[in-house]
C-alpha cells in the first residue's frame, strides 16, 4: 500500500525552525492539494497554524513544481508524473501544549502544526522520520512520543508510523534531554517525561500517585486499557498550567513549585491541582478521544466542529477528575469537598450563569469561552465548571432515584461499551454519539425519565439543585460572602459580617488599580465604572492594586464613596454606593450523621 512519507528535522533551533519534507508516491494526476488544520482537537479555537509556515516549495524528479497557495491553509501543486515532494519550514516558538516549540534546550510539536495533510489520501498510512538537530551539543537529545516505532530505537530518532493522518496528528512529540520515569498501570507501560528545569523531584511519590490514578480509571471502564502504552509529557515552567489530551498521551504544562519535592510530607494545593490535571487528561482517553460526539467523528480540520455536548466531554470529565483522585486514595474526603466547594463558588459568583445554558456554552465555545474578554463573566458560564456540577447532580439524582442501584459510572460504562470500546481507529471510522444520545442512553441505563433533569441542567439557566442533592448524600453546605479577596471558602464556625462590595475585579497597574471586569448588577456598574478604568484614589486617598481592598474595607454597605481615576486619558470621578458582598462562597463538609455511617456515603463510592 502507498505510504505518505514525512521527515521532520530540528534544523535551526536558534531560529526556532523545523524543516519538514513530505513525499506522495501517487499524487492526484489533476494536481495535488495539501492543507494544514486550522485548530487542534481538544482546544476549540481557530488558531491558523499555517501562519507559521515560513517557506514552502514542491519538486518532483529533481525539478521544481509550481505550488499555488489557494486558501489560508491550502496549497495546490501542478500535475506531475511520479512522486511529488514538498519541503517547508515551520516556525515553532509557542510554549503551550497546542502548538510547536524549538530552541537549543528542547523541541516539541503537535502534528497539527507541522504535518500537511495530503488531500484525498489522508486515509493512507504515514511514515515519519524524526531527525535530530546537528551539532555535538544535541548529542544527548532523545525522542518521547506515543507514535508507533517503525525502526526507531526506544526513545531514539528514526522512523515512526501512523495508520492514517488523524492518528499522525494525535501523537505529539517531545525532543531533548528530558527526564524519563516509567511505571506500569494494570500491566500497561506508562512513560512520564519531564522537560525544563527543576530540582529534588520526589519521583517515587509522583509515580505512586499517577499509577493509582491510572489504575483506578482503567478499572472503572474495565480492562484492557484502550492503548498499549501511554506517555505523559510535562514541561516545567515558572508559572504555567494546562494540558491537552491525545489518544495515547497527553501534553502538560506545570508550574515548577507545584511538583512534589523530596522531603515534603503534606500535599500542597499546587500538587493536588497537578494531579487533578493528570487525572483529567487521562480520563479523556475514554471520554472524548474514543467516546466522542458525532461532530468529532471525524474532526473537521478546516473549520469549527460544533456540538452542544462539550459539557459531557469536558464537564463530566471535570467531575470525574477530582472524584477519581479521591477514589484512587491520593486525596482525602475533606480535600475533595474543599475542591468541590471551590468549583461551586466559582459558578455561583459568575453572573453569566443566569444568561447562558450549558448547551449554549458548549456550542459557542469557539467564539466565547475560548475568547474571554472583559464581559465574559457577565455573558457566559464555563461548561467545565458548571458541566462538572451538572455531572455531580446527575450522579446524585441517579443514585437517589434508583436507591443506589445505579450511578453515573453505569452511564459512562454503557457509553464506553456502545461507542468507545469497539471504536477501531484507522481501520473503521468510529461513530460518535448524536446530540440527543447522551440523554437517551442515560435514561436507558438507569430506567429513569431524565427529561426534566436535563431540561433544567443543560437547557435552562436556573441554578442546579446542588444543596438539596448534596444534603441527600450526607454533605452539609455553608454559604456566605467572601471575607476578603483571597478567601478560598473554608468552613467557618462563626460567619463574619459580609464586607462592603463594589462588584469588580482589578489588576496591578504601575499607576493604580486597573479594573479588569465589572460584574452585572454591581455597585461599580451602577456608578458607571468600566473595565479598563484606572482607579487612583478612594475617598481622596491614593490607592494601589494592593492597598485598594484595605481602603474599601473601611466602609460599610450603604456608604457612598468617591473614586477617582482615568478612562483612557480622561480624569473621572465616580460616586459609588457600596452594597453587601453577595453570598458566593460555598464550603462543604460531611455531616456528623454521614461520618458515623461512613460505608454508605457518597463520594467515597
Ligand atoms: Zn479536558
Complete DSSP assignment for 452-519: HHHHHHHH--SPP-HHHHHHHTTEEEEEE--SSTT------SSPPPPPEE--EEEEEETTEEEEEEE-
Mean pLDDT of 11-15: 97
Q: Ligand 1 centroid vs 122 CA: distance in angstroms? A: 26
Q: What is the DSSP letter of 530?
A: -
Q: Where are the beta strands (DSSP E) in 126-228?
A: 126-131, 142-145, 148-149, 158-162, 173-176, 179-185, 188-195
Report, as an integer, the average pLDDT of 338-367.
Answer: 98
Instruction: Please give the distance, rounded to the nearest whole angstrom, from the Cα atom of residue 163 to the centre of ligand 1.
Output: 25
- Could you give the maximum distance between any two Cα atoms of the chain, in Å? 82
3-state helix, strand, coil in the chain (%, to 5): 30, 30, 40
**Gap from CA of 86 to ligand 1 centroid (Å):** 34
- Pairwise pLDDT comparison (98 vs 605), residue with the higher score: 98
Is residue 133 within 8 Å of residue 201, measured between CB atoms?
no
Q: What separation in Å is there between the alpha carbon of 461 and the centre of ligand 1?
A: 23
Q: For residue range 245-274, list pLDDT tens digits in order.
A: 999 999 999 999 999 999 999 999 999 999
Average pLDDT over residues 226-249: 97
Question: Which run of H or E residues covers position 340?
Answer: helix 333-348
Mapped onto helix, strand or coil, the DSSP state of residue 68 is strand
Task: Find the mean pLDDT for residues 509-513.
Answer: 94
Task: Write the CA distances from 458 to 5, 18, 383, 388, 601, integer angstroms.
Answer: 45, 44, 10, 12, 27
Task: For residue 415, report the distance from its CA to the centre of ligand 1, in Å.
Answer: 18
Q: Where are the beta strands (DSSP E) in 209-305?
A: 230-237, 242-245, 249-255
| Separation of CA 317 and ligand 1 centre (Å) | 7
> Average per-residue pLDDT in the chain?
95
State the distance from the centre of ligand 1 to the C-alpha of 276, rounded, in angstroms.
11
Per-residue confidence (pLDDT) for residue 488, from 0 to 100: 86
Helices (H), 176-242: 203-221
Average pLDDT over residues 316-328: 97
b/e per residue, 300-324, with b = 16+ CB within 10 A? Answer: ebbebbbbbbbbbbbbbbbbbbbbb
User: How is residue 340 written as a grid cell?
Assistant: 468541590
Task: Give residue 296's pLDDT.
Answer: 94
What is the tally of helices (H) and strands (E) in the chain? Answer: 17, 31
DSSP 314: I
**Residue 424 clears pLDDT 60, i.e. is over it:** no
In whole angstroms, what is the distance from residue 244 CA to residue 39 CA? 13
Q: How far apart are CA 463 and CA 533, in angstroms?
A: 32
Percentage of residues in the chain having pLDDT higher than 90? 92
Q: How far is the CA of 244 from the centre of ligand 1 (A)?
A: 7
- Ligand 1: distance of its center to the CA of 40 in Å? 13
Exposed e or buried b per residue across 542-555, where buried means at least 16 C-beta atoms within 10 angstroms of its C-beta: ebeeeebbebbeeb
Confidence band for 428, pLDDT divided at 50, 70 and 90: very low
Q: How many residues does the chain have?
A: 605
For residue 349, pLDDT over 60 is answered with: yes
Task: With beta carbons less than 8 A apart as the criterion, state whether 8 and 19 touch.
Answer: yes
CB within 8 A of 504, min separation 6: which ones?
Answer: 515, 516, 517, 518, 519, 522, 524, 529
**Residue 230 C-alpha to ligand 1 middle, in angstroms?**
17
For the stretch 528-551, pLDDT in tens is 999 999 999 999 999 999 999 999
pLDDT tens-digit map of 463-483:
999 999 999 999 999 999 998
- The more confidently predicted of residues 298 and 113 is 113
Q: How far apart are CA 399 and CA 472, in angstroms?
A: 10
pLDDT at 422: 58
Amino acid at each position: 500500500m502507498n505510504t505518505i512519507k514525512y521527515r521532520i528535522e530540528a534544523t535551526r533551533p536558534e531560529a526556532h525552525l523545523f524543516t519538514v519534507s513530505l513525499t506522495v508516491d501517487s499524487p492526484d494526476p489533476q494536481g495535488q492539494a495539501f492543507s494544514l488544520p486550522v485548530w487542534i482537537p481538544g482546544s476549540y479555537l481557530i488558531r491558523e497554524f499555517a501562519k507559521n509556515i515560513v517557506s514552502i516549495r514542491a519538486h518532483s524528479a529533481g525539478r521544481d513544481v509550481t505550488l499555488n497557495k489557494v486558501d489560508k491553509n491550502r496549497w495546490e501543486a501542478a500535475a506531475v508524473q511520479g512522486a511529488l515532494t514538498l519541503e517547508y519550514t515551520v516556525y515553532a516558538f509557542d510554549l503551550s501544549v497546542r502548538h510547536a516549540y524549538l530552541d537549543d534546550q528542547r523541541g516539541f510539536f503537535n502534528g497539527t502544526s507541522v504535518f500537511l495533510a495530503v488531500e484525498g489520501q489522508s486515509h493512507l498510512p504515514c511514515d515519519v522520520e524524526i531527525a535530530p538537530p546537528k551539532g555535538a551539543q544535541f548529542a544527548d537529545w532523545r525522542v518521547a512520543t506515543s507514535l508507533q516505532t517503525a525502526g526507531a530505537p526506544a526513545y531514539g530518532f528514526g522512523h515512526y508510523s501512523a495508520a492514517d493522518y488523524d492518528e499522525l496528528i494525535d501523537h505529539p512529540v517531545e525532543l531533548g534531554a528530558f527526564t524519563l520515569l516509567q511505571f506500569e498501570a494494570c500491566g500497561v507501560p506508562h512513560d512520564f517525561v519531564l522537560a525544563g528545569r527543576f530540582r529534588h523531584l520526589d519521583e517515587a511519590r509522583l509515580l505512586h500517585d499517577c499509577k493509582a490514578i491510572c489504575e483506578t480509571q482503567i478499572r472503572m471502564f474495565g480492562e484492557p486499557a484502550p492503548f498499549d502504552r501511554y506517555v505523559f509529557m510535562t514541561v516545567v515552567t515558572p508559572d504555567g498550567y494546562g494540558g491537552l489530551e491525545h489518544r495515547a498521551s497527553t501534553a502538560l504544562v506545570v508550574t515548577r513549585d507545584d511538583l512534589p519535592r523530596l522531603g515534603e510530607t503534606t500535599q500542597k494545593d499546587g500538587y493536588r491541582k497537578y494531579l487533578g490535571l493528570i487525572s483529567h487528561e487521562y480520563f479523556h482517553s475514554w471520554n472524548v478521544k474514543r467516546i466522542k460526539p458525532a461532530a468529532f467523528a471525524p474532526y473537521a480540520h478546516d473549520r469549527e466542529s460544533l456540538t452542544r455536548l462539550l459539557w459531557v466531554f469536558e464537564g463530566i470529565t471535570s467531575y470525574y477528575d477530582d472524584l477519581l483522585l479521591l477514589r484512587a486514595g491520593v486525596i482525602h474526603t475533606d480535600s475533595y469537598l474543599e475542591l468541590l466547594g471551590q468549583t461551586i463558588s466559582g459558578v455561583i459568583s459568575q453572573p453569566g450563569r443566569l444568561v447562558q445554558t450549558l448547551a449554549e456554552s458548549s456550542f459557542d465555545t469557539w467564539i466565547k469561552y475560548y475568547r474571554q474578554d472583559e464581559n465574559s463573566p457577565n455573558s457566559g458560564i464555563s461548561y467545565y465548571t458548571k458541566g462538572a456540577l451538572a455531572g455531580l447532580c446527575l450522579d446524585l439524582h441517579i443514585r437517589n432515584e434508583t436507591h443506589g442501584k445505579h450511578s453515573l459510572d453505569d452511564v459512562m460504562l454503557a457509553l464506553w461499551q456502545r461507542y468507545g470500546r469497539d471504536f477501531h481507529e484507522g481501520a473503521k471510522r468510529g461513530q460518535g454519539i448524536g446530540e440527543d444520545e447522551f440523554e437517551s442512553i442515560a435514561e436507558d441505563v438507569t430506567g429513569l425519565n431524565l427529561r426534566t433533569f436535563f431540561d433544567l441542567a443543560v437547557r435552562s439557566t436556573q441554578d442546579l439543585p446542588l444543596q438539596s442533592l448534596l444534603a441527600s448524600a450526607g454533605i452539609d453546605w455553608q454559604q456566605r460572602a467572601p471575607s476578603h479577596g483571597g478567601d478560598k471558602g473554608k468552613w467557618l464556625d462563626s460567619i463574619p459580617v459580609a464586607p462592603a462590595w463594589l462588584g469588580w475585579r482589578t489588576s496591578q497597574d504601575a499607576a493604580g488599580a486597573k479594573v479588569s471586569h465589572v460584574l452585572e448588577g454591581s455597585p461599580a456598574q451602577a456608578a458607571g465604572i468600566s473595565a479598563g478604568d484606572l482607579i487612583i484614589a478612594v475617598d481622596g486617598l491614593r490607592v494601589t492594586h494592593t492597598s485598594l481592598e484595605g481602603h474599601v474595607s473601611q466602609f460599610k454597605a450603604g456608604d457612598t464613596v468617591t473614586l477617582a481615576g482615568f478612562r483612557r486619558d480622561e480624569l473621572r470621578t465616580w460616586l459609588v454606593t457600596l452594597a453587601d458582598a453577595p453570598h458566593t462562597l460555598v464550603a462543604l463538609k460531611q455531616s456528623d450523621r454521614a461520618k458515623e455511617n461512613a460505608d454508605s456515603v457518597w463520594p467515597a463510592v
